[in-house]
Amino acid sequence: MSGPLPTPVIAIDGPSASGKGTVAALVAQALGFHYLDSGSLYRLTALAALRAGIALDDEARVAALAASLPAAFVGGEILLGGEPATEAIRREECSAGASRVAALPAVRAALLERQRAYRQAPGLVADGRDMGSVVFPDAALKVFLTATAEERANRRHKQLIEKGMSANISTLLQDLQERDARDAARSVAPLQKCADAELLDTTQMSIEQAVQAVLTWYRARAA
């Protein structure tokens, strides 16, 4: 006899500022699923290291920090040690730091089971860099969501300006291109499209169109 079917997972991977977080959260809301922003765990690790004065390339100490990270997700708020950290982890310093600590194999190993624990009924939508390839290889649907670097830089610039933060689009573009290269070249769980993932290029798409594409793919598989 076969056992119960595993809790379904929709894995949405892609480069920084591609819009995968927004799309994933809206897909989860539409389906009544849980949502995992895996990138926030790496951002929180980077933030905790920066606050503790730990060098971001000190693999052993950063991994130990990741393993005991006092992180919590309450409603739409991200907490670190009980203190709000939602805004702090979105700053460029944390964004760049997250990419650096995510390249450390020991840090990725420390966060792996923590991410898998988010898989709870009725389902999970997870976004990140290796959700489909490493964390949830048996995901019911894998999506590689991307956009051109120029479009992603424009989106990030708009987000920062709307939040009242200063931003230079040329610097943002260079940062995104460097981060893409670093994420694709790392030895563990490099950023790449899985062979069984659907490609979703959102350069010319609205958020609503991207969400609908993911929902259509998932419902076709769940039928």
Q: Where are the domains of the chain?
A: 9-217
Confidence (pTM): 0.83
Residue among 182, 34, 160, 41 at smallest CA distance from 99: 182
Annotated binding-site residue? 193: no
What per-residue confidence (pLDDT) applies to 4? 64
- Output the tens digit of pLDDT for each of the chain's 223 residues: 455 678 999 999 998 889 999 999 999 999 999 998 888 999 999 999 999 999 999 999 999 999 989 888 777 788 899 999 998 998 888 988 998 998 899 999 999 988 998 899 999 999 998 899 999 999 999 999 999 999 999 998 998 888 888 889 999 999 899 888 888 877 777 778 889 999 999 999 999 999 999 999 999 998 7
Q: Which secondary-structure segment (H or E) carries 215?
A: helix 207-222
C-alpha to C-alpha distances, 193 to 37, 49, 133, 172, nearest whole angstrom:
18, 30, 8, 23
Quote the CA–CA distance of 80 and 26 in Å, as a whole number.
24
Token pair of 169, please?
């689009």
Residue among 34, 16, 28 at smallest CA distance from 218: 28
For 139, which DSSP code?
Answer: -
List all residues 6 or more positions away from 72 whose beta carbon is below 8 Å from its beta carbon: 78, 79, 82
Residue 75 gets the label, from left (phi > 0), alpha (psi -120 to 50) or beta, of: left
What per-residue confidence (pLDDT) applies to 95? 84
Annotated binding-site residue? 14: yes
Annotated binding-site residue? 133: no
Annotated binding-site residue? 19: yes
Annotated binding-site residue? 32: no
Q: CATH code for 9-217?
A: 3.40.50.300
Annotated binding-site residue? 70: no
What per-residue confidence (pLDDT) applies to 190? 75
What per-residue confidence (pLDDT) applies to 184? 81
Annotated binding-site residue? 22: yes
